[in-house]
Amino acid sequence: MTLDRRDFLTACTRAGIASALLPGVLYTLAAQAEQAAPASGAAAKPAELAKLTSEMIDQAAAIAGVGPFTAEQKKMMLEGLNDERTSYDPIRAMKIPNSVAPAFVFHPLPPAGAEMDMTPAIKHPDSGWTPDPKVFAPTHVEDLAFATVSELASLMQARKVTSLALTQMYIARLKRYDAKLHFVITITEDRALDQARAADAEIAAGRHRGPLHGIPWGAKDLLAVKGYPTTWGAGGFEHQSFDEDATVVQRLDAAGAVLVAKFSLGALAMGDKWFGGRTRNPWNPTQGSSGSSAGSASAVAAGCVAFAIGSETLGSISSPSTRCGDTGLRPTFGFVPRTGAMALSWTMDKLGPIARSAEDCALVLNVIHGPDGKDASVHPASFRWQPNLDIKTLRVGYLKSEFEEKPPAKTAELPKSETAEQKKKRENHESEEKASRARHDYDRRFDLAALDKLRSMGINLHPIELPNLPYGAMVPLLTAEAAAAFDDLTMTGRDRLLTEQGSEDWPNAFRVARLYPAVEYIQANRARTVAIQQVSELFNQVDIIVTTTSDMQLLATNLTGHPAIILPNGFRGSDAPAPPKIDTGDNDNIGGPGTPVSLTFLAGHYQDAKLAAFAAAYQKATDFHKQHPKLDE
């Protein structure tokens, strides 16, 4: 069975119930006791919470998996617990905004001696990019809808196409296909047209700022843009706005790029469902685009922008890039400042480009990386794009177990007796397990073909494996930080405004995470340190790791902060197993004829340029990234 990022999140969130924070549990129990008492039915205020009792300690200890405590121990604990509980209220009363980070900074630095270029970040306007003098302008500007950034930049510099023409074309496509794909939250039309006209004037005057000058792009709507709403995709935030552009937006403005739209994301960065509906996969609009960088991935794949900015905490660039057939670069944690971006997890959030090619991603990352003096997690590491890097000089490994045939699932022993309802549920589960296995076996041929292709390119592949560590047990770090980032929603009941309200969705996950213990949070971070050290050790053995996009590596490398690039690796044929009749959003690899599959490359911390160069070489040897969906059929 393949492991799915949403399944990871769900399972680990639920696991948080088994190890709850004792004072937090007691606070909840006391609140319930107090709220049940008033005859008026009015909700209790924090100051009116019932006193904790010995019986509550027993209940909380059972949830937390500690104790049992003796009567004498409980007597000693009660005074301290009641006092500790009073410390919550003054902090809650501060109404701390989402933009305020905790008083600690996460840096996933590798062990001493590991390769890492930490020289001061230098912005190279062209960063190794060379215009293509052979590129030509088509008769109809819309024929450039699926052109790469590099191709568009070459045309722009040669003055064979204008930024205004491109911008108007992309805006028209956004309006035309949004009804089908639901990827736009806000079109920034006035801002875009002003930027495009300014870009054309500068280029005509001989002031070319670099390969992004005049290039239309889109932002995931968790990036603040002054003068426009920043909705985070969530009900209750539709009219939220900020007075300053996010750092990434400022840097792209400075490079001359043209912001044409703010794109959908699953509410508060989960999935592809937002307050306006569900963003769709351009290759099969009956399916969702996956998420949470839903609109960014869908719009790029649909030829409605040249590139977009997405974010990833636990698969939010990887997953929609896979589903939509894009190239997505999830940078090293601490490479791109997140100032002005919605915080979900201060120690896991990453901003990165989604584009049509690895080279395009590199050109964007060159502009947006580096410290801004505000996001303390960002290191001054350098990005040195070398498009002609000789990849045969690189040591390349592959995660051997991820490419092996999965053992058959164990057949569960039938119960001696079962009701008709239980039998139907079991049979449905077995049927879906069988279908999922068929899809996995079909997709595996693309993974194996990728290894063969790399070998044909002269790459000697070394089998390696991820360290055997409990990565799943560390995921509650994410939900605990997310619950803190959106504490006000839970405490005020505004979480009911969010579109999705199931057991796997944010409202319930936030409530569960409130019971995650402070001690266990610290212990999980200590385990994460071990993971960073051991995964980083792999990159002392190899420069690049080839792997499948899902499975354990997705979880492990998001925790350790290593960079990844996800690229299309073929398209399922007419013989592909049918996808489920309903896309629940619980599984990213539901497949179906004509839909793309992906491959992932990994590298050491701050080796993002080398990673992109390796991916670019693979794309030069294949043509998967040049394919695009036929939206009008």
- 461 - beta bridge partners? 396
**H-assigned helices in 158-233:** 163-181, 189-204
To the query of whether residue 220 is one of the catalytic residues in this protein, the response is yes
Q: How are beta strands 284-288 and 307-312 bridged, if at all?
A: unpaired
Place of tokens 């947006």: 368
Length of the chain, in residues: 633
Work out the number of other CB atoms within 10 angstroms of the CB of residue 94.
8
How far apart are the C-alpha atoms of 432 and 46, rounded to whole Å? 47
Task: Reduce the DSSP state of residue 555 to 3 states and report it.
Answer: helix
3-state helix, strand and coil shares in percent for the chain, rounded to the nearest 5: 45, 10, 45
**H-assigned helices in 318-399:** 318-324, 358-368
Place of tokens 């409530």: 511
Distance of CA 199 to the CA centre of its chain: 31
Q: Is residue 548 within 8 Å of 571, Cβ to Cβ?
A: no
Return the structure tokens found at 53: 């009792």
Task: List phi, psi (to 5°) of 602.
Answer: -120, 160
Q: Is residue 421 within 8 Å of 429, Cβ to Cβ?
A: no
How far apart are the C-alpha atoms of 602 and 546, rounded to whole Å? 7
Which of 292, 311, 357, 377 is the catalytic position?
A: 292
Which of 264, 311, 316, 598 is the catalytic position?
A: 316
Q: How are beta strands 307-312 and 216-220 bridged, if at all?
A: parallel
Which of 154, 163, 220, 350 is the catalytic position?
A: 220
Task: List phi, psi (to 5°) of 207.
Answer: -105, 80
How far apart are the C-alpha atoms of 121 and 115, rounded to whole Å? 16
How far apart are the C-alpha atoms of 269 and 277, rounded to whole Å? 14
531 to 121, 504, 525: CA distances (angstroms): 27, 26, 10
Q: Is residue 592 within 8 Å of 284, Cβ to Cβ?
A: yes
Q: How are beta strands 280-281 and 284-288 bridged, if at all?
A: antiparallel
Cβ burial 223-239 (10 Å sphere, 16+ → b, else e) = bbbeebbbbbbbbbbee
Q: Quote the DSSP letter at residue 499.
A: S
Q: Quote the DSSP letter at residue 580.
A: P
How far apart are the C-alpha atoms of 91 and 46, rounded to whole Å? 12
How far apart are the C-alpha atoms of 84 and 91, rounded to whole Å? 12
To the query of whether residue 610 is one of the catalytic residues in this protein, the response is no
Work out the number of other CB atoms within 10 angstroms of the CB of residue 625.
25
Distance of CA 99 to the CA centre of its chain: 18
**H-assigned helices in 93-187:** 149-157, 163-181
How far apart are the C-alpha atoms of 436 and 258, rounded to whole Å? 42
To the query of whether residue 536 is one of the catalytic residues in this protein, the response is no
Contacts of 623 by beta carbon, 8 Å cutoff, 6+ apart: none
Catalytic residues: 220, 292, 316
